[in-house]
Structure 1
Amino acid sequence: MAPEKDEFLTATFFIDCDHPAIKDKSMQLIADIEGAKEKSIRLFYFVRDEIRYNIFTPRPTDAEFKASHVLAIREGYCAQKGVLLVALARTAGIPARLRFAEIKAHLTPKEMVEKRGSNIFPWHCLTELYINERWVKVTPTYDLHYCEKLGVPTVDFDGENDAMLPSHATDGRLHVEYLLDRGSYGDLPLEEIRKASVSWKYLKK
């Protein structure tokens, strides 16, 4: 393993892949399969569908962003689900990191737009997995039930190609625009996210 990949296999405060619950779940999920591609697919679909998407998940302190906490409560928004997928992947021996982008989410629920004052999310989180000698972008944010409710295609992952939020809903309405790439991170840049988040105040309540 190249030195630059080693940092994407180690535990951090948020990506606590050394936590017993994370280790146990990762090993349970990949127990019957071999190969980074097949393992990454199994881990992706677990986080996508078994961790419910909830943008209103309470997160007043740093602890609510730890992978082990997200696994325990079984819900979260993009950053929380991204942190969990990275932790599970690292435990499985797959180098993984977080990536961020500013997006415009045209189908954001009215309640959320009213609370935030905008449908632009400056630090949308996705993940990158190192598979077959290259980084692949994957987005486990929306679970199947949420996609059906919102009327958007699911993000599916084949272990080889980037899996990003779709630009349009199933009925043709504009769904997501990617406005700015913020690059990759070995751990969650929570303070930067908080500084840019217009929703931080209500999430502390």
Structure 2
Amino acid sequence: MPADTEPTWFLDSDSDAVAEFVQRALADAGVGSDDQRAVAVALFNAVRDSIRYDPYGISVDPHDFRASTIAGSSSNWCVPKAVLYTAALRHVGIPARLAFADVRNHLTSEKLNEALGTDLFAWHGYTELFLDGRWLKASTAFNIELCDRFGVRVLEFDGTTDALMHPYDTAGHRHMEYVRQRGSYQDLPLEEILATFAEVYPSTLTERPEDPAF
């Protein structure tokens, strides 16, 4: 498990930018560093809501996938947000690793469906973290405002149970379906991810629109 707490090139948990993100998140939440569960929850909320979910215009620059870069972004998509959360957890000594799955979003907007050409999201990124003797799963992808806009329940994490995408929205319609698990990783498998994207939906690997909207 030592590898789950060590910095990597992408998960640069020892960087000043990640340290500052962690300090700000804990200060805003009024949480001390001695309560690991409260720390994990505060960091989850900070990544979820301080970085707006934006799946348009995915970068192919490796530097954009470093936690230190992501910490300064105002919008991003699930994989970079998972990278930042994982690195933030490692910074405070909580074992964490990246995990990925292919998911089918049954509530994908028409605009996003046209951009991707499918409602299947390959390599959806989330975090696995070790708390109180067991591994938990948590997805920081969707910020509160986005959930309210689409009538999806906000994904809450309490540090005791998994926080993965809800299968149904607030009206009972099918929402998110996990169709394939791609496993857990100590560092970001960026080449594999981009290779899949280039094959499945190459139009996403372009410059992002000025003001993307769902």
Q: TM-score range by the shorter chain?
A: over 0.9
The CA deviation string for residues 84-104 of structure 1, in whole angstroms up to 9 with x for no partner, is: 000111001101111111110
Report the counterpart of residue 10 of structure 1 in structure 2: 6
Report the counterpart of residue 205 of structure 2 in structure 1: 203
Query: Quick one: distance in 2 between partners of 1:106 and 1:51?
Result: 23
Offset of 1:74 from its aligned partner?
Answer: 2.3
Contact 1:8-1:96 within 8 A present in 2 as well: yes
Query: Quick one: distance in 2 between partners of 1:103 and 1:58?
Result: 18
Contact 2:86-2:127 within 8 A present in 1 as well: yes
Contact 2:49-2:144 within 8 A present in 1 as well: yes
Supply the AA of the counterpart residue of 1:172. Answer: G
TM-score, scaled to structure 2: 0.89
Q: How many residue pairs end up in the alignment?
A: 201
Report the counterpart of residue 100 of structure 1 in structure 2: 100
TM-score, scaled to structure 1: 0.93
Among the aligned pairs, what percent are the same residue? Answer: 35
Query: Quick one: distance in 2 between partners of 1:193 and 1:90?
Result: 22
Report the counterpart of residue 138 of structure 2 in structure 1: 138
Structure 1 unaligned residues grouped into runs of 5+? none
1:122 aligns with 2:128: no
Q: How does 1:14-93 map to 2 (within 5 A)?
A: 14-30=10-26, 32-33=31-32, 34-56=34-56, 58-93=58-93
Structure 2 unaligned residues grouped into runs of 5+? 208-214
Query: Quick one: distance in 2 between partners of 1:204 and 1:63?
Result: 16
CA RMSD of aligned residues (A): 1.4
Supply the AA of the counterpart residue of 1:89. Answer: L
Offset of 1:201 from its aligned partner?
Answer: 4.0
Offset of 1:108 from its aligned partner?
Answer: 1.3
Structure 1 pair 204/97, CA: closer, same or farther in 2 (3 Å)? same
Q: Secondary structure at the match of 2:71?
A: helix
Report the counterpart of residue 180 of structure 1 in structure 2: 180
Offset of 1:157 from its aligned partner?
Answer: 0.7
